[in-house]
């Protein structure tokens, strides 16, 4: 199953790269980088994968020239041959230009063999490798030792497409610029490159697919259709289908109006993305990288909490009632605003679960001219919205849908669990320091949503209803203000529990602070935030030269767990123990409110320099 998924994803990547070739404007590089010698310039990056290059004067086989030195991670690779590149002309190219020099053909090293998920063997360059470009002066006269080429006289254009084992990135074109002292060419570094002619391995080449731009636009439409079956979107569909069931009993015009307003909400989301793409390209000379928002903890937190609330809605914990002033009770447009909002929400919810599809679509769209890119992005929205437009404009099709009943309610509730799974998945993508806080806040939020919808009914007096809901809002806001902000952890150089390390510090008359904690201990986490996150405590620990030890007792067989019971005779955590030089008995700090006492004890210790000097003085006396 995993292999099939990888093949599908790789096929999408190959398609995107091919479409990029069809729409690429080769007269305008995507960006230009001016680089001094030996100063690496980043060419491409995707998450932890990257590749950079720099220029260096070199000699190879009796010829002088430019060594273009590539450095990067092994999984990110360039294509060595046009026949096996995702699209014609997208193999790695290195071209040099200058008003003062003429250049020979670039000499590339021996390639590596990469087997893509479809099983094809392709020739690639990856990691660290060097390309050599032979160089000569344009004049026939021999240059003198004082011949110096000024900065900007040599420009090297690097272009192609880079891929990882799972995704292909947008095509790139970078320009490196440097100066060379031609008069000192005899002292340039000598290099050697094993060229492809020396390679023993030959692979059968397979040409990449040759899709047209029309096919690409059609595939964008199909990608939009696929978004409707994403796990994040699927739970929203029953809500709309149930609404369609109800509208089928009434006028056709009303059914069409509600269906089209739902489609409008979807299109508004993709229109916003298209506008963002235009602003970034025209105003900032960059492109919208799909996935950047997932690197933003605020977005991940907001999406995960939204999914939790929607899951509670699926479970029937609360209901959404559109005010009559918005819904327009008296007119045929009842619920139009709510339907637009639901469509927009469905499109937003498609983003966490459709990373590969939308990444591929945006990567292709952003290599095209703006009008075509905008059409491509909007076609994704049209594809997603089309089933609803067809269904609501042709009410006769509704008779082929299953009749509403208890199964629809059970299905709706089951989809609530799907939303919770996606919410937890998003939370796990957060930095470790924020993950626990968001999980706890999600529980508090769920409780407050339950208060909002479950503690009131239609017969509850209005005053009581608003008091209950006001309390729910206050609890939510207060908990969010405490739990959700990014924690500012003080920089304490914690060491893992090591008896030998502690004994060595004690023998050297160095203070030792041991914090016994466990992952399952809520009070321990509170101590972390209220005591050890304090900058003044961290500064005292550093200034006094205290060895800070974090003793993890999560597992019963951990050395710290055994020491807590056998050495320090303590029944449980949290407990912090301070070993002070000259005192036989350790100082034990129990519970949550230990900050003031710990601060007092640390202030009473000599500074690090005094501690060292005192130790040396005692050694001399001894």
- Residue whose C-alpha is closest to residue 313's, from 238, 261, 260, 392: 238
Report pLDDT for 16: 45
At 539-552, the pLDDT tens digits run 999 999 999 999 99
Regarding pTM above 0.75, the answer is no
**pLDDT beyond 60 at 6:** no
SS3 154: strand
- Return the pLDDT at 131: 94
Overall average pLDDT of the 312-337 stretch: 59
pLDDT at 19 exceeding the cut of 60: no
Look over the chain and give the mean of its residue pLDDT values, rounded to a whole number: 76
Cα(176)–Cα(512) distance, rounded to whole angstroms? 53
Written as six digits, the tokens of 380 are 């994704």
Instruction: Give pLDDT, residue 140.
Output: 46
Residue 297 — pLDDT band, cuts 50, 70, 90?
confident
Find the range with the poorest average confidence among 96-105, 172-181, 392-401, 547-556. 392-401
Sheet arrangement for strand 154-160: 93-98, 154-160, 172-178
Cα–Cα dist 533/262, whole Å? 48
**CB 101, CB 150: distance < 8 Å:** no
The reported pLDDT for the residue numbered 184 is 84
> What is the Cα–Cα distance from 286 to 280, expressed in whole angstroms?
5
Look up residue 56 and give its two tokens: 């260096």
Q: Tens digits of per-residue pLDDT, 367-379?
A: 567 787 788 888 8
For residue 611, what pLDDT band results from cuts at 50, 70 and 90? low
pLDDT attached to residue 472: 94
Alpha carbons 457 and 434: distance in angstroms, whole number? 36
Give me the DSSP letters along 458-521.
TTS-HHHHHHHHHHHHHHHHHHHHHHSSPP-------EE--HHHHHHHHHTT--EEEEEE-TT-
Rounded Cα–Cα distance for residues 234 and 415 (Å):
7
pLDDT band at residue 397 using 50, 70 and 90 as cut-offs? low
Residues with Cβ within 8 Å of residue 613, at least 6 apart in sequence = none
- Distance (Å, rounded) from C-alpha 132 to C-alpha 110? 12
pLDDT score recorded for residue 291: 56
C-alpha R_g of the chain: 33
**Nearest CA among 322, 490, 503, 312 for reference residue 417:** 312
Residue length of the chain: 622
Longest C-alpha distance within the chain, in Å?
102
* pLDDT value at 69 more than 80: yes
Which tokens is 295 given? 């690197």
- By C-alpha distance, which of 383, 346, 25 is closest to 217? 383
For residue 574, say if its preceding peptide bond is cis, omega within 30 degrees of 0: yes
pLDDT value of position 129: 93
CA-to-CA distance for 68 and 66, rounded, in angstroms? 6
**SS3 (DSSP) at 363:** helix
pLDDT at position 293 over 80:
no
Question: What residue ranges in 7-90 does DSSP mark as E strands?
Answer: 41-46, 49-60, 63-72, 77-79
Q: Mean pLDDT across the stretch 57-77?
A: 90
262-276: average pLDDT: 87
What pLDDT does 232 receive?
62
Instruction: Look at 146 and 257; give whichever has higher pLDDT.
Output: 257
Q: Which 3 state secondary structure label does DSSP give 301?
A: helix
pLDDT band at 17 (very low <50, low <70, confident <90, very high): very low
Q: How far is 163 from 124, CA to CA, in rounded Å?
A: 10
559 vs 273: which has the higher pLDDT: 559
Q: Which of 280-284, 296-300, 498-502: highest mean pLDDT? A: 498-502
What is d(CA 23, CA 367) in angstroms, rounded to the nearest whole number? 6
Query: ∠ at Cα 357 (413, 223), nearest 5°?
Result: 80
Which pair of structure tokens corresponds to residue 284? 């900032």
């Amino acid at each position: 199953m995993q292999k099939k998924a990888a093949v599908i994803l790789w096929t999408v990547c190959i398609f995107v790269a091919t479409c990029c070739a069809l729409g690429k404007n080769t007269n305008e590089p995507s960006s230009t980088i001016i680089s001094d010698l030996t100063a690496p310039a980043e060419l491409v990056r995707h998450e932890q994968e990257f590749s950079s290059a720099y220029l260096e004067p070199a000699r190879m086989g009796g010829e002088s020239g430019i060594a273009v030195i590539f450095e990067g991670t092994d999984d990110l690779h360039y294509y060595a041959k046009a026949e096996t590149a995702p699209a014609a002309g997208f193999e790695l190219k290195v071209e040099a230009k200058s008003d003062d020099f003429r250049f020979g053909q670039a000499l590339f090293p021996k390639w590596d063999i990469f087997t893509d998920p479809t099983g094809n063997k392709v020739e690639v360059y990856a990691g660290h490798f060097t390309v050599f470009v032979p160089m000569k002066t344009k004049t026939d006269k021999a240059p003198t030792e004082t011949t110096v080429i000024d900065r900007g006289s040599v420009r090297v254009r690097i272009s192609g497409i880079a891929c990882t084992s799972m995704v292909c990135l947008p095509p790139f074109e970078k320009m490196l610029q440097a100066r060379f002292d031609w008069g000192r060419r005899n002292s340039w570094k000598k290099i050697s490159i094993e060229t492809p002619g020396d390679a023993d391995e030959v692979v059968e080449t397979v040409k990449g697919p040759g899709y047209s731009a029309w096919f690409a636009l059609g595939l964008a439409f199909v990608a939009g259709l696929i978004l409707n079956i994403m796990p994040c979107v699927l739970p929203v569909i029953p809500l709309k289908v149930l609404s369609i069931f109800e509208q089928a009993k009434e006028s056709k015009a009303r059914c069409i109006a509600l269906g089209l307003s739902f489609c409008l909400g979807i299109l508004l989301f993709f229109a916003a993305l298209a506008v963002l793409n235009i602003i970034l390209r025209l105003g900032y000379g960059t492109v919208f990288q799909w996935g950047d928002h997932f690197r933003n903890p605020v977005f991940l937190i907001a999406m995960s909490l939204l999914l939790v609330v929607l899951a509670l809605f699926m479970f029937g914990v609360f209901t959404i009632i559109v005010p009559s002033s918005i819904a327009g009770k008296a007119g045929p447009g009842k619920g139009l605003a709510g339907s637009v909002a639901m469509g927009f929400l469905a499109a937003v919810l498609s983003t966490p679960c459709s990373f590969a599809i939308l990444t591929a679509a945006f990567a292709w769209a952003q290599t095209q001219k703006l009008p075509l890119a905008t059409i491509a992005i909007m076609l994704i929205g049209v594809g997603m919205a089309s089933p609803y437009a067809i269904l609501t404009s042709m009410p006769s099709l509704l008779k082929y849908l299953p009749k509403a009943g208890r199964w629809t309610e059970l299905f709706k509730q089951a989809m609530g669990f799907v939303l919770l799974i996606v919410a937890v998945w998003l939370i796990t993508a957060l930095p470790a320091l924020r993950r626990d806080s968001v999980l706890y806040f999600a529980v508090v939020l769920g409780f407050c949503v339950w208060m909002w919808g479950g503690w009131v009914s239609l017969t509850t007096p209005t005053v009581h209803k608003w008091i209950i809901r006001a309390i729910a809002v206050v609890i939510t806001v207060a908990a969010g203000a405490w739990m959700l902000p990014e924690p500012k952890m003080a920089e304490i150089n914690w060491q893992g529990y090591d008896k030998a390390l502690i004994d060595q510090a004690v023998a050297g008359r160095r203070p030792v602070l041991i914090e016994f904690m466990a992952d399952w201990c809520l009070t321990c986490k509170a101590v972390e935030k209220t005591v050890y996150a304090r900058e003044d405590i961290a500064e005292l620990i550093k200034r006094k030269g205290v060895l800070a030890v974090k003793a993890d007792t999560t597992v019963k067989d951990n050395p710290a767990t055994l020491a807590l019971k056998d050495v320090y005779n303590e029944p449980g955590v949290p407990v912090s123990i301070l070993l002070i030089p000259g005192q036989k008995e350790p100082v034990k700090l129990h519970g949550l409110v230990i900050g003031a006492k710990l601060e007092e004890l640390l202030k009473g210790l000599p500074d690090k320099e005094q501690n060292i000097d005192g130790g040396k003085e005692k050694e001399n006396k001894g």
